[in-house]
Amino acid sequence: MAGQYPPEWLEELRRANDIVQVISEHVTLKRSGRGFVGLCPFHQERTPSFHVHPERQFFHCFGCGTGGDVIRFVMLIRGLSFPEAVAWLAERAGIPLPAAGAAQIREERERRELLEVHRWAAEFFRQTLWSEIGRVCREYLALRGIKEETATRFLLGYAPPSPDAIQLAARRAGVSPALLIRAGLVITSRQGQAVDRFRGRLIFPICDAQGQVIAFGGRVLDAPGAEVGGVATSAPAPKYLNSPETALYRKGRQLYGLHLARESIRRLGSAVVVEGYMDCLSLVQAGVENVVASLGTALTPAQVQLLRRYAPTVTIAYDADTAGELATGRGLDLLEQAGLQVRVAVWPEGKDPDDVARQDPAEARERLGKALPIWEYRFSRLIGPAASADPEARRQAVRRVAEALARVPGAAEREVLVQQAAGLLAIPPTSLAQQVEETRRRQGMPGLPGARRSKSGSWQHTNEGGRLQPRSEQLPPTVQRPAEVEASLLAWICRHREEGRALISQLNAAWFRVPAYRRFVEALQEWGDLEPLLTGKAGEELAALAAAFVSGACGDTGGLLSVSVGHAAEDGTARGGGGGAGVRGGKPATWETGQELVWRVQAQAEIAIIGNFEQELRDWERMLPTRLSGLNRLILRYKQMVANLAPGKAAERGA
Ligand code: ZN
């Protein structure tokens, strides 16, 4: 993507936007050695592990592993794409964007003009709302319980019920009629007459993630004769009307309200998705800040990607019917496939979040807080209340559940869900499992292929000795090893050059989850020594990291390893080792200590993984003796492994 900008120009852009200054606008930085530190804006922390290197013009967080140059920082903190971040920085520094091809220039000009006319139109609608003409619309807002403050926050406006209000205003403001048509604000009627698209409607400006208006949605006021505008239209006016697609706006690519919600979405790690404008406004008024509207029931892939950029968890807050259809059909599969944790908020029958939030804000918040994990919600919908009493209803429920479970791609996950559902249906798990597998066979899906969680990708059943192998690059977020453990290992290697050199060849880059650390290890192996990295031969980013590792900038992050090494030394295993000094300075440690460290980094990750799957293992264990004796043996072996990895044991084994 950087390809469309000349490298020298990007260099100039970086020079003109000092990383320390740009980051200072978002993070309070304190000087530390040759750099600066602060609290990381990308993860929650109390002690600063976010470092900025003015010389290298790089930032890096030793807590979460995020890092990069000033462009990367702007992309992350403002939720921008690369070209957007580049454009933002260019404007900040007053540097013109590089000359591009003619088509690109035309396209950019079109976008710029459209942005301008949208900004102008939003302001026209807004002023109209708060003018004398807008009284009817303000009364409607009051009726719907929308406060003035909320209306202002969302830039709400009003299109008067006349056929040419915006055209007259445009003439006065010198906005070209052709541009109004290109923006979709004016349409041509059947009589060939230019007519305002939005007439007698409450206007919701739709913004991109940066808060620039790119389209409008208009809602009729529920007042008789509100949308007449003196124009004969062929069909009755639809309740909602949107801008057409333009160079700025594609349907299904935006989330309404994202520019206002994104900071809290990032902070809370979760987004609430509602269906319509009003749900969004009402929930904001009820004190829910992390809410966006999908403006349509099924989320599009583009919207799912957008959500994923900001938060790992998504709470669906559609009205009861829509949510039910989506959750029990394939409507939410996209979210799950994208690896997002999906929850579904349950509303009283026949009510949507807007109704509930207006009547009782506290209840709306509570219902969001109690949103059910997707499968729990699905089961409650599929099984229903009648299933416990009536045998026929129960048979139907079992069939519905079996069909839903047959779609779950991972066998292990399917097994756990079968257990859960069987409990709810009060039937033996084996009989439900049979039905599920039969359904799968009927639908031509593969049978039990062994343990494969293809969706989360965390386990891969390989045939190498029948071992279940964690795939380090794809661990689910809950079991990921903290980046600081990886950082402290690399810091150790950088600060103990002699032993570090010996260690380099023993390292496997794939052990490292943080991409920058993986590259660091690869570069260490490629160059065989730290020196080339320090002098910038392997690139600025690695140079900044190497400098930080050597200078001890990340010295406070060695907690876990310090403890492990200290512990090992007490048992006399780390011969001639740090003697408890661990990662941070002290006497130089030996090659064996380094080995021990590497081993512990792996062991620690495996323990975390195994701990996370303990529940799953227990579930398996209950059903396996009768069904899959091979896997049962595997579990026993894993338990053995866990026992061996316990710190005390590990030390014994090392001795
Ligand atoms: Zn961080």
Same domain, 212 and 279: no
d(CA 589, ligand 1 centre) in Å:
29
Residue 554: predicted pLDDT: 63
Residue 574: predicted pLDDT: 34
Higher pLDDT residue, 227 or 14? 14
Residue 99 lies in a domain: no
Neighbours of 646 (CB within 10 A): 12
Give the end of a domain, one of 242, 277, 296.
242
pLDDT digits (tens, 9 = 90+) for 606-643: 665 555 556 555 655 555 554 455 555 666 666 776 67
d(CA 50, ligand 1 centre) in Å:
6
Same domain, 156 and 268: no
Residue 477 lies in a domain: no
d(CA 40, ligand 1 centre) in Å:
4
d(CA 555, ligand 1 centre) in Å:
15
The domain tally of the chain equals 5
d(CA 74, ligand 1 centre) in Å:
15
Task: Identify the CATH number of the domain in which residue 37 sits.
Answer: 3.90.580.10
Residue 227 lies in a domain: yes
- The chain-wide mean pLDDT, for the chain, equals 78
pLDDT digits (tens, 9 = 90+) for 416-450: 889 889 888 888 888 899 999 888 888 776 544 43
Same domain, 262 and 286: yes
Residue 648 lies in a domain: no
Task: Identify the CATH number of the domain in which residue 134 sits.
Answer: 3.90.980.10
Same domain, 500 and 549: yes
Higher pLDDT residue, 535 or 328? 535
Rounded-to-integer distance, Cα 551 and Cα 494, Å = 9
d(CA 309, ligand 1 centre) in Å:
16
Rounded-to-integer distance, Cα 367 and Cα 277, Å = 19
CB half-sphere exposure, 151, CA atoms < 13 A: 24
Range of the domain at 329: 258-382
Residue 154 lies in a domain: yes
Same domain, 209 and 266: no
d(CA 304, ligand 1 centre) in Å:
24
d(CA 155, ligand 1 centre) in Å:
34
3-state secondary structure 199-235: CCEEEEEEECCCCCEEEEEEEECCCCCCCCCCCCCCC
Same domain, 63 and 19: yes
d(CA 655, ligand 1 centre) in Å:
37
Residue 221 lies in a domain: yes
Residue 258: predicted pLDDT: 95
**503 in Cβ contact with 495 (< 8 Å):** no
Within its chain, how far is the Cα of 463 from the centroid? 34
Same domain, 194 and 317: no
pLDDT digits (tens, 9 = 90+) for 290-317: 999 998 777 888 898 888 888 889 999 9
Task: Identify the CATH number of the domain in which residue 294 sits.
Answer: 3.40.1360.10
d(CA 512, ligand 1 centre) in Å:
16
Same domain, 540 and 569: yes
Same domain, 285 and 349: yes
Residue 248 lies in a domain: no
d(CA 48, ligand 1 centre) in Å:
9
- Amino acid letter at 324? G
d(CA 612, ligand 1 centre) in Å:
23
Q: What is the average per-residue pLDDT within 85-105?
A: 80
CA separation, residue 573 to residues 185, 563, 597, 630, 651 (Å) = 76, 14, 12, 36, 7
517 exposed, middle or buried (CB, 10 Å; 0-12, 13-18, 19+)? buried
% of the chain surpassing 70 pLDDT: 74
d(CA 44, ligand 1 centre) in Å:
7
Same domain, 234 and 136: yes
pLDDT digits (tens, 9 = 90+) for 445-492: 654 443 333 333 333 333 333 333 333 333 333 334 567 777 877 887
Same domain, 157 and 220: yes
**280 in Cβ contact with 259 (< 8 Å):** no
Residue 593: predicted pLDDT: 59
Residue 282: predicted pLDDT: 96
DSSP state of 482: P
Residue 629 lies in a domain: no
Residue 458: predicted pLDDT: 35
d(CA 460, ligand 1 centre) in Å:
29
d(CA 457, ligand 1 centre) in Å:
24
d(CA 38, ligand 1 centre) in Å:
10
Same domain, 326 and 361: yes
